[in-house]
Amino acid sequence: MDFPLSSQLVNRLDYVESTGSTNTDLVAVAADCPDLTVLVSGHQTAGRGRATGRQWSSPAGSSLAISVLLKPNSTPGQTLPPTSFGWLPLLAGLAMARAVGQFIPAENVAVKWPNDVLVGERKISGILSELVSDFSGVVIGAGINIGQNQDELPVETATSIALEQTTIGDTATPGKDQILAAYLGELRALYSRFVAAGGDAVASGIRDEVVERCGSVGRRVRALMPGDQELTGVGVGIDDTGRILIQPDGERELFAVSAGDIVHLRHN
């Protein structure tokens, strides 16, 4: 499969018809790859989800598994603080929401913090980010449902671009290169602004843009933490390190939750 539009947007793009997990493959070779290397596959046999032990199923032909290697400090003279790397998965969620919004009505597309992309309440894309072993960068893996009908999706609460287009009466599903290019274009633009601001999401204005697109801010949420702990309240913002700020029920103090601390965030 050729990706002429997408290939122009990154430093290197490889496609494999089928693999275990694009994230596993790209993490393994990250030391020898440049910033903005992309590995795409039409089918994964062992795709991994965010929750421990969770799979990301992607039937052949109807979805894309996309892994992007970001190595901001591989450019000479560029030294982003490693703490800023925590923003990269949030940038990816925003980029994917914007990309999906190019093909279906954008007002229906939001991010469930930290980076699930939902159309209404249904998930269309999930993102799993992994630090590479020498801490030189991050591999951001995104699965995007493209052509599946409801029977081909793993759960009822999932959706695809084709299904959403049927809902709005548009039956011409965009091509995979178009969708991938939309995502990579949005991600590259956010990434270069973030890097130019030295990894400062607040100064670059990116934090505000993430908040604006985040459906978890301004609504009731339930944060499931390790050890079966739960926190129920209202999402009120995102702090300058990318943590969601929750106003817990019956408490005055805000509680900040990082993506690494949480098992799952539910919209209540």
For ligand BTN, the closer of residues 22 and 84 by Cβ is 22
Q: Which of 27, 30, 65, 179 binds ligand BTN (CB under 6 A)?
A: 65
Map the footprint of ligand BTN across residues 33-62, applying CB under 6 A: 44, 47-50, 54, 56
Paired sense of beta strands 264-267 and 12-16, if any: unpaired
- 7 closest CA partner among 187, 184, 146, 193: 184
160 contacts ligand BTN (rule: CB under 6 A): no
Q: What is the DSSP letter of 57?
A: -
Smallest gap from residue 211 Cβ to ligand BTN (A): 21
Provide the sign of the torsion angle of the four alpha carbons 67, 73, 74, 76, taken in this order: positive
Smallest gap from residue 21 Cβ to ligand BTN (A): 3
Phi, psi of 204 (to 5 degrees): -75, -10
Distance CA 141, CA 126 (A): 8
Residue nearest to ligand BTN (CB): 126
Would you give the binding string for ligand BTN spanning residues 129-158, x where CB under 6 A is met? ------------xxx---------------
Distance CA 219, CA 237 (A): 10
Distance CA 251, CA 233 (A): 9
Distance CA 185, CA 165 (A): 22
67 contacts ligand BTN (rule: CB under 6 A): yes
Smallest gap from residue 158 Cβ to ligand BTN (A): 10
Structural contact between residues 123 and 206, judged by C-beta atoms closer than 8 angstroms: no
For ligand BTN, the closer of residues 22 and 173 by Cβ is 22
Distance CA 185, CA 128 (A): 19
Map the footprint of ligand BTN across residues 95-134, applying CB under 6 A: 116, 126-128
Taking CB under 6 A as the binding criterion, the range among 15-23, 189-197, 206-214, 240-248 that sits at the site for ligand BTN is 15-23
Distance CA 99, CA 214 (A): 15
For ligand BTN, the closer of residues 22 and 73 by Cβ is 22
Would you give the binding string for ligand BTN spanning residues 212-231, x where CB under 6 A is met? --------------------
Would you tell me which residues interact with ligand BTN (CB under 6 A)?
Answer: 21-23, 44, 47-50, 54, 56, 65-67, 116, 126-128, 141-143
